[in-house]
Amino acid sequence: MHIHILGICGTFMGSLALLAREAGHVVTGADQNVYPPMSDQLEAAGIALYQGYDAEHIAALSPDSVIIGNALSRGNPAVEYVLNEGLHYQSGPEWLSEHVLRGRWVLAVAGTHGKTTTASMLAWILSCAGLEAGYLIGGVPSNFGQSARLGSTPYFVIEADEYDTAFFDKRSKFVHYHPQTLVINNLEFDHADIFDDLAAIQRQMHHLIRTVPAKGQVMIPNVTALNAVVDMGCWSALEYLSGEQSPWKVSLEADDQSTFTVAKGEDTGQVQWALCGAHNRDNALAAIAAAHHIGVSVSVATAALCEFTSVKRRMERLACIDGITVYDDFAHHPSAIKTTLAGMRARCKSGRVIAIIEPRSNTMRMGCHSQDLPAAITDADLVWWYEDEVDSSILKTLFVDDDKVVVRNSIDLIIEQVVAMAQAGDEIVIMSNGGFGGIHTSLISALGIRD
């Protein structure tokens, strides 16, 4: 079967393409922007990529089915061609549900933050436990080197995204997945382009909980936003990951939270790894709990996490030049920015923490979290915000009197200024949920050739 995927370089659609190819289908795809790391994975798998959404591509390929990503809408030439010609089409989540997830034990990781990292941890734990689970993750786990695989056991780990499914299906993607094991890491307002408020996201989360069977299990931290979701109704076993009623205990053994002990009753183990921060500790607990639900002991899970090497673009160490370390991080929500910088601050004892941030998400660009941005960067010593015509008035107003903050509308100028003041011991993190104009490579090059 020949499947053509529109929006193939998105993290979800690209991962789906890998699964379809592994299942033996002929897969091609198109995207407006074809860029790494997803494009590298796809090309390595022998998947032909087309730049842009020209109808002529589909006409020439004559695929059996077209999978349409949620970034595409009516008016797109490829979409209009599919509809006018009466071609068979589906959403990615619908295809995944029918062709991969049906009949399998699905372990889903949902929540505003940490889905990619937690799902990667969970897949790695299962692998180390001898359970070669399938997985689909919205990123590239370093331990595996690719973002999806079919697996050889009944288990399948999936990052359960609350974003909408397609232009013809406005439900959240995750309602298609029907998990038996469900972790919801946290819940905050996000995706202001499709959700009016937190209550709208909570309603979708409740739709997800409604799909978990009675023999399944739902795991959440004891936080108000998620308790409100559970109060709408829960028909499965409920396990809390925090609070007095939680059977899980975590003991910290390092200030930067890079070493900690996890216990459930007498089953215990220690995690000691290169990651840091409370958010990664919480992600680890969620992954351990999900694995425990299908019989993996805490001791086996923690031993696996000691070998976990994170995910590309999640505090990924890119280079160290003359004692200056450069990281790439996907953080774009104020809470994610804050927890990431707090973890860096706890680890970076003598040097400076420097953040270069592109507020690129639709929610950030709409100014929905602008009041939270000053507090989000408290633990940084210096911050460069990248602005454009949308962001400039918001950022300049917020940080007009903050001496440690610089707002610039030129990537070249940001690089020039950062390079001029960087010194040994500094830790620089570049934060964006997009390509950020190639700033990562350019900054590293400039640091390498400076006088």
- Indicate if the pLDDT at residue 390 is higher than 50: no
| Calpha distance 351→324 (Å, rounded) | 9
Q: What is the dihedral of CA 432, 437, 440, 444, to 10 degrees?
A: -150
CATH 3.40.1190.10 matches 103-305 = yes
What CATH number belongs to 2-91?
Answer: 3.40.50.720
What type of residue sits at position 438? G
DSSP codes joined into one string, 95-153: HHIIIIITTSEEEEEESSS-HHHHHHHHHHHHHHTT---EEE-SS-BTTTSSSEE--SS
- Indicate if the pLDDT at residue 332 is higher than 70: no
| Calpha distance 288→241 (Å, rounded) | 10
Q: Is 344 in contact with 275 (CB distance < 8 Å)? A: no
- Indicate if the pLDDT at residue 443 is higher than 80: yes
| Calpha distance 233→328 (Å, rounded) | 40
pLDDT in tens, 251-301: 988 877 889 999 999 999 999 988 878 888 999 999 999 999 999 999 999
In CATH, which superfamily holds the domain spanning 316-449?
A: Mur ligase, C-terminal domain (3.90.190.20)
- pTM of the shown model: 0.80
pLDDT in tens, 61-100: 999 999 999 999 999 999 999 999 999 999 999 999 999 9
> Which of 137-146, 162-171, 413-422 ranks highest by mean pLDDT?
162-171
| Calpha distance 377→355 (Å, rounded) | 8
